[in-house]
Amino acid sequence: MLWIKAFHIIAMVCWFAALFYLPRLFVYHSMSEDQTSRDRFKVMERKLYRGIGTPCMLATVVLGLWLASGQWSYYQTAGWFWAKMVLVAALVLYHFVCGYYVQQFGRDRCHKSHIYFRWFNEFPVLPLVGIVLLAVVKPF
């Protein structure tokens, strides 16, 4: 199970890299003024979302569930685990919202400001802090 845990952590780190960088690309994309830049951002966003972000999200979730299945009787009653799952679900939802924005930018239909995306970019930090604290401290 230690190998599974190691790959779970690696996938999670890679997923978070995408969750942190993709909205930053949205900031720059929304500020771009020429078509060449916008086209370049479309390619970068699509490749990051589909090529790294989504596979790493899936690996994180699958490997995490695999880890939990090994001691399911413990995790069923661990309150911290269910709080962590709520935060993971929020991140998965955030991931799909990012995918929505990738599609919107790809069709030149996203008109949100760079200020919106600067705030949007900060969200994953909150679940990350909560998830790490819950998984390490196991407060309840």
> In the structure, what pLDDT confidence band is assigned to residue 21 with cuts at 50, 70 and 90?
very high
| Domain ranges (residues) in the chain | 2-137
**67-96 pLDDT, tens per residue?**
999 999 999 999 999 999 999 999 999 999
pLDDT digits (tens, 9 = 90+) for 51-64: 999 999 999 999 99
Backbone φ and ψ of 78, nearest 5°: -85, 110
Residue with tokens 């690996």: 59
How far apart are the C-alpha atoms of 81 and 140, rounded to whole Å? 9
Q: How far apart are CA 113 and CA 134, in angstroms?
A: 34
SS3 84: helix
Q: Determine the Cα–Cα distance for residues 134 and 69; give it in Å rounded to an integer.
A: 18
**Percent helix, strand and coil across the chain, each rounded to 5?**
85, 0, 15
Residue closest to 50 by CA, chosen among 40, 39, 42, 38: 42
